[in-house]
Amino acid sequence: MIVTKEIVCFRNADWIVGWNDDRGTHCYYRDSDLAFRGERIIFAGPGRYEGDCDREISAVGQCLMPGLVDLHTHSASMPTFRGVREEMGNPNFYFSGVYEGWGLFMPPAEVRGTTTRAAICEMLLSGVTTYVDMSYPYPGWTDAVAQSGIRAFLSPLFDSAKTAATNDHALEYRWAEDGGSADFEAAVKLLDAADDHPSGRLSAMMSPMTVDTCTPELLRRAHDMATERNWPYHLHAGMSVIEFHEMVKRTGQTSIQWAHDQGLLGRNTIIGHGAVLDHHSWVHWHTKDDIDILANSGASVSHCPVVLSRYGVTLESFGRYRKADINLGIGTDCHPHNMLEEIREAAIMSRVSDQHMFSALTADVFDAATVGGAKALLRDDIGRLSQGAKADIVVVDVTNPMMLPLYDPLRSLIFSACDRAVKDVYVGGQQIVAEGRVLTMDHQEIAEGVSEIQAAVVRDMPNRDRKGRTAEEVAPKTYPTYDS
């Protein structure tokens, strides 16, 4: 990735969501400049930049904010689920669509580069400049991500067992003879390649799939390596009621209590979802220890509010976790990969859960989507606009009618305009989005490619489904369809 060393200055931005080192928080700067050289910010307000400058960009009518950090994404699979999984879930599995829905509509490995590019386009257009990509490895994955220009943590999934629904009410764990060792070794090779990638924008994150599909030995082995190499370590836990009861049945402990006793929790650990814990209303459990365990361990939680709410469940609650001093990040664990909608949903669902308007404020959820995600990834140079940080910059058009009238730019963006007001996006000083259009990829062509992929999956559904059902039977459309 070629980035020039010229000094670029945004002049007279109406608003800058800058970083105040003294207070350790974002703040608003009015009528100020932002300058960067190459990949690094050299000035981010307040006031006017008086240093050398090779190129000026007028920022009048704009708000400059830090690029968002998407902490939880499965880019290879989610784009093909559009129109399908919003209302597909098994009541006997507590409405979760994970145990059958994911596998049934999963695109073939050879076309996942297209679905990944589609997800990245959506993320970029909603202001994401760094994301975590948890996918089972497929040919061309690294190239698909690197060519997009986004900053990414590649996080190849591996496990010791696959789950399979044997009927409408029972789940079976099918364990690999080697306990997942071969897949782990393959993942490590890919992680090393990500760390050494010449673009400088790919990093490694260790990701055993879920707490209930990996052996204790595999989880500890992966955690030890991640700690040794200073990689983030991600583990899906507290993801579903099914998982909660499975872990209690096996170990007599909740997923979080067991992970703690195994030594898997620490400052480099990210718990994926972390929602269905022992305090959650859906499990009515006799202990209430999990939140304190997470807080004391220093682990983070990647919260994905949209996918949870589609199943009728939510974190209970974002505000409660934050008050316990658990570091929270936000992710897009489903389509659309729109971080601004996820941020809004995080605030709203927390308020509904707690029946309290101030359960999660705009600052709380914006922090999670920026510096919270950065902290979870062990980084302090992303998610903020400050001297020395990466020049990951999102330009918001504050003259967009959905932003007006403008009293508070972040509230207008998150609760009203969302991605419609995202104008330009820079990653490491390179412009990736201009005037709402992705420059490194043909979004329309990619979307049409995903449509063809989904159509092929739909045609093949009787061969994929254990009952031989059609896609229409698996996921009925909103209304009956009559062909002319």
Q: In this structure, are 270 and 400 located in the same domain?
A: no
2 pLDDT higher than 70: no
Pick the most confident of 25-34, 79-88, 165-174: 25-34
Cα–Cα distance for residue pair 359/35, rounded to 1 Å: 36
**Count: domains in the chain:** 2
Pairwise pLDDT comparison (92 vs 75), residue with the higher score:
75
Is residue 470 a part of any domain in this protein? no
Tens of pLDDT, residue by residue over 399-449, are: 999 999 999 999 999 999 999 999 999 999 999 999 999 999 999 999 999
Q: Are 16 and 387 in contact (CB under 8 A)?
A: no
Whether residue 204 lies inside any domain: the answer is: yes
Q: What is the CATH number of the domain that holds 30?
A: 2.30.40.10
Give me the mean pLDDT over the 460-481 stretch: 93
Which pLDDT value is given to residue 4? 67
> How far apart, in whole angstroms, are the C-alpha atoms of residue 165 and residue 282?
22
Judge whether residue 3 has pLDDT over 70.
no
* pLDDT above 80 (res 235): yes
- The two beta strands, 300-303 and 269-273, are parallel
Between CA 97 and CA 308 the distance in angstroms is 10
Q: Judge if 318 and 411 occupy the same domain.
A: no
Is the same domain home to 42 and 95? no
Average pLDDT, the chain: 96
> Which residue, chain included where needed, has tokens 């990040």?
329
Residues β-bridged to residue 35:
9, 43
Query: What CATH number is attached to the domain comprising 194?
Result: 3.20.20.140
Task: Supply the range of the domain harboring residue 54.
Answer: 7-66+393-435
pLDDT above 70 as % of the chain = 99
Q: Is residue 477 part of a domain?
A: no
Residues 127 and 51 in one domain: no
Q: What pLDDT digit, counting tens, does each position of 92-143 carry?
A: 888 887 887 677 899 999 999 999 999 999 999 999 999 999 999 999 999 9
**Largest Cα–Cα separation, the chain:** 69
Is 453 inside a domain boundary?
no
- Same domain for 198 and 333, yes or no, is yes
Q: 302 with 238: CB under 8 angstroms?
A: no
**Full-prediction pTM beyond 0.95?**
yes
Residues 280 and 413 in one domain: no
pLDDT at 5: 86
